[in-house]
Chains A and B, each alone.
Chain A
């Protein structure tokens, strides 16, 4: 194993790994999501029945995970664009990753109540 470099094992590599993993997860969800939405062409009952599973507490937790993946992929994607097109992008890639993570934490904190609130009410009563 070569020793650590500016890239290997550092912010650049791990953000690349996370971008790839979240991208693949989002793509698989998208495939399922188009299929479930296609049920509106079958019948309102079929669609509502499947959407009901999206409202269960366990799936609400998965939705929170989906939001986490999408927000990271979106913010880090903007960072990748800045690295590619902004002259000073490569120099500030590390600082931009910390900016991405800070905004991500704030948005994830803000998403707790809207995304998980109804699940909490269902589990613990309102």
Chain B
């Protein structure tokens, strides 16, 4: 291997440069720069907000849900104590109402966003994605509204 340093691996550049100091080459935007021509879905920071929401709601849900499991399934006889009277006793306190309300909203939004990701990953046809997400969002809104209504309108003397 005799290396001739006078020869480089790069061949001569063909032609003459069109640009010089007085006439610089046009600047090319970085690939992901947001411009007026970017698709609507890429204009905002929704995916970043969703990513952050999953982590923040996740931490809060660890506390809320594990507390909920302890109360409902472990302490004081576990599941066998649960009944209308037990629910009435707990929702008599605003503390547990807020606890359950927060848990409902955070868990539903966390789960809905998770399922949105799963649909985006596996449903490839645009129409399939549209239908599955439509179903998901409908079920999510319905469940959150129903749960919220139940917590706020609960009546211990219903009968």
- B108 CB to closest chain A CB, in angstroms? 7
A54 & B79 in contact (Cβ 8 Å cutoff): yes
B158 & A23 in contact (Cβ 8 Å cutoff): no
A43 to B84, CA, bound (A): 9
A97 to B60, CA, bound (A): 21
Partner of B87, one of A20, A23, A47, A78: A47
Tell whether A37 is near chain B: CB-to-CB under 8 Å: yes
A26 & B158 in contact (Cβ 8 Å cutoff): no
Tell whether B73 is near chain A: CB-to-CB under 8 Å: yes
Q: Which of A26, A35, A41, A111 has the most CB of B within 10 A?
A: A41
Given contacts A74-B62, A114-B74, contact A54 B82 (CB under 8 A): yes
Tell whether B154 is near chain A: CB-to-CB under 8 Å: yes
Tell whether A30 is near chain B: CB-to-CB under 8 Å: yes
Given contacts A60-B79, A63-B79, A118-B77, contact A84 B114 (CB under 8 A): no
A40 & B111 in contact (Cβ 8 Å cutoff): no
Residues of chain A lying within 8 A (CB to CB) of residue B108 = 30, 34
Tell whether B45 is near chain A: CB-to-CB under 8 Å: no
Residues of chain B lying within 8 A (CB to CB) of residue A85 = 55
Partner of B111, one of A26, A117, A118: A26
B147 & A27 in contact (Cβ 8 Å cutoff): no
- Per-position binary interface string of chain A over residues 1-39, scored 1 when its CB falls under 8 Å from any chain B CB and 0 otherwise: 000000000000000000010011011001100110110
Given contacts A81-B58, A115-B74, contact A48 B84 (CB under 8 A): yes
A45 to B115, CA, bound (A): 34
- Per-position binary interface string of chain B over residues 126-159, scored 1 when its CB falls under 8 Å from any chain A CB and 0 otherwise: 0000000000000100010011011001110011
Interface size class of A (residues with CB under 8 A): 35 or more
- B138 CB to closest chain A CB, in angstroms? 12
A81 & B59 in contact (Cβ 8 Å cutoff): yes
B83 & A51 in contact (Cβ 8 Å cutoff): yes
Residues of chain A lying within 8 A (CB to CB) of residue B155 = 41
A27 & B111 in contact (Cβ 8 Å cutoff): yes
Residues of chain A lying within 8 A (CB to CB) of residue B153 = 41
B-binding residues in A (CB < 8 A): 20, 23-24, 26-27, 30-31, 34-35, 37-38, 40-41, 43-45, 47-48, 51, 54-55, 60, 63, 67, 70-71, 74, 77-78, 80-81, 84-85, 111, 114-115, 117-118
A-binding residues in B (CB < 8 A): 55, 58-59, 61-62, 65-66, 69, 73-75, 77-80, 82-85, 87, 104, 107-108, 111-112, 114-115, 118, 139, 143, 146-147, 149-150, 153-155, 158-159
